[in-house]
Amino acid sequence: MRVVPAIVSAVSAAAILLLTACSGEAGPTPKRAPQDPGPGALQVKLEALTADACFTEPAEQNPPGCEKYVTQLGSVPGKARQFAGTAHPELKGHGDELEAAITAYRADSCNTEAGTGAVTCSDALVDIAEALSGIETALAAVVDAAGTADTTTTGTTRG
């Protein structure tokens, strides 16, 4: 029967066409890394974190209860230094203070019940709150300066 070889030939030809059609495809296009949202996004994060009782009343807190709060602050010192540049050394200074206070909190095991009784844990939370307050104030100046720069260059403000 000649039908079977004809079917096999047709199926083989179709498979070859499909394979060659796909061979030029490199796969999915890689996505670009998202742009850094800038100091305004850090300002929003700080607004949320400064509403926490670990910030508003640090001396009255049970230090292990502030572990999540302290963890959420982990990226803030680096971002503060990044946004400080050379124009805002006070922001960098507060970022360094925050990093030192976070390190002290962790070094004294304040995130565990073993560290609860230590006066240094309460001191670390107070130091964290003070440094965070300084960052919040200094960051507002950076955001304001960025808004002024946008206005002077383009004649409009960010929306």
Cβ(110)–Cβ(64) under 8 Å? yes
Residues whose CB is less than 8 angstroms from the CB of residue 105 and which lie 6 or more positions away in sequence, other chains included:
63, 66, 70, 111, 121, 124, 125, 128
**pLDDT score for 157:** 45
The tens digit of pLDDT for each residue in 130-141 reads 999 999 999 998
Alpha helices in the chain (DSSP H): 3-23, 39-49, 53-56, 67-72, 76-84, 89-107, 119-154
With cut-offs at 50, 70 and 90, classify the pLDDT of residue 69: very high
The tens digit of pLDDT for each residue in 75-105 reads 999 999 999 989 999 999 999 999 999 999 9
The tens digit of pLDDT for each residue in 10-68 reads 666 666 656 555 555 566 676 776 676 788 899 999 999 999 999 999 999 999 999 99
Residue 3 has pLDDT above 80, yes or no: no
% of the chain with per-residue pLDDT over 90: 52
In this predicted model, which residue has the larger pLDDT, 112 or 73?
73
Name the phi and psi angles at 117, rounded to 5. -75, -15
The tens digit of pLDDT for each residue in 118-131 reads 678 999 999 999 99
Domain boundaries, the chain: 39-154
Q: What global pTM score does this model have?
A: 0.70
